[in-house]
Amino acid sequence: MRKILTLSSILGLIILASCSGPEQQMTPKQNWTPKLNQPSELALIMRDMHEESTNRKNSLEQGQLDPTLSETLFSMITAHPTKPHMKGEGFEPYAKSFIGIYNQIHGAEEVGVQIQAHNNMVDACIACHTKFCDGPISRIEKLYVR
Ligand code: HEC
């Protein structure tokens, strides 16, 4: 019984860390092994973006523009996801619109303008996540600069 409890709490953590979808909530199978050490190409890009956005939020809150420009996020459209359904129909328009909004961050020459652009980007992260990967949304919401 204790073993099952531990296993399900580990599984709970994994669900929190990635997208929660119906097939990830099933009970563990005999040969089931967590794939924590093998993030997909797309998951790696997302982690980079999350880190970059956290750093930008910190700079902006200190009143400084952040000039960092991600190189990897432009490969979002071709990157392989953990599971095919994570990049279902409609993914590409979301990704393209996200990239357009992202570029506005780097056009900003004033802190106030970059904060606005950054928050628009967070909206765009969440828009895509609402459709394709709702697990990390609460973490993404913390990226808003208020
Ligand atoms: C066009 C859709 C789209 C946009 C835009 C998007 N994401 Fe994602 N995100 C996904 C998908 C799909 C996954 C699941 C990837 C996988 O597991 O292969 C994901 C996964 C993640 C993860 C979990 C990665 C992991 O460790 O498994 C985080 C965190 C994340 N995104 C943060 C962000 C942030 C922050 C932004 C905005 C700066 C963002 N995402 C923009 C679709 C998107």
pLDDT digits (tens, 9 = 90+) for 47-91: 999 999 999 999 999 999 999 988 888 899 999 999 999 998 999
- pLDDT above 90 (res 9): no
Q: What is the extent of the structural domain holding 31?
A: 1-37
pLDDT computed for residue 3 by the predictor: 57
Categorize the per-residue pLDDT at 15 as very low, low, confident or very high, splitting at 50, 70 and 90.
very low
Structural domains in the chain (count):
2
What is the SS3 assignment for 18-42?
CCCCHHHCCCCCCCCCCCCCCCCHH
Looking at the structure, tell me whether residues 95 and 27 fall in a common domain.
no
Probe target for ligand 1 pocket from 133, 134, 143, with the most ligand atoms within 8 Å of CB: 133
Distance 133 CA to ligand 1 centre (A): 7
pLDDT computed for residue 71 by the predictor: 81
Looking at the structure, tell me whether residues 100 and 133 fall in a common domain.
yes
Distance 2 CA to ligand 1 centre (A): 33
> Cα dihedral sign for 77, 83, 89, 95?
negative
The answer to whether position 73 is within a domain reads yes
| pTM: predicted TM-score of the whole model, two decimal places | 0.83
The answer to whether position 8 is within a domain reads yes
- pLDDT above 60 (res 26): no
- Note the residue count of the chain: 146
> Is the CB of residue 124 below 6 angstroms from any atom belonging to ligand 1?
yes
Mean pLDDT of all residues in the chain? 84
Identify the residue with better confidence: 124 or 31. Answer: 124
pLDDT computed for residue 44 by the predictor: 95
Categorize the per-residue pLDDT at 25 as very low, low, confident or very high, splitting at 50, 70 and 90.
very low
Looking at the structure, tell me whether residues 99 and 50 fall in a common domain.
yes
Looking at the structure, tell me whether residues 31 and 47 fall in a common domain.
no
The answer to whether position 15 is within a domain reads yes
Q: Can you read off the two tokens belonging to residue 60? A: 């902006």
The answer to whether position 146 is within a domain reads no
Alpha-carbon span 52 to 31, nearest angstrom? 36
Nearest CA residue ID for atom 23, ligand 1: 18
Alpha-carbon span 68 to 91, nearest angstrom? 25
Looking at the structure, tell me whether residues 66 and 126 fall in a common domain.
yes
Q: Can you read off the two tokens belonging to residue 65? A: 């523009």
Categorize the per-residue pLDDT at 123 as very low, low, confident or very high, splitting at 50, 70 and 90.
very high
Nearest CA residue ID for atom 25, ligand 1: 43
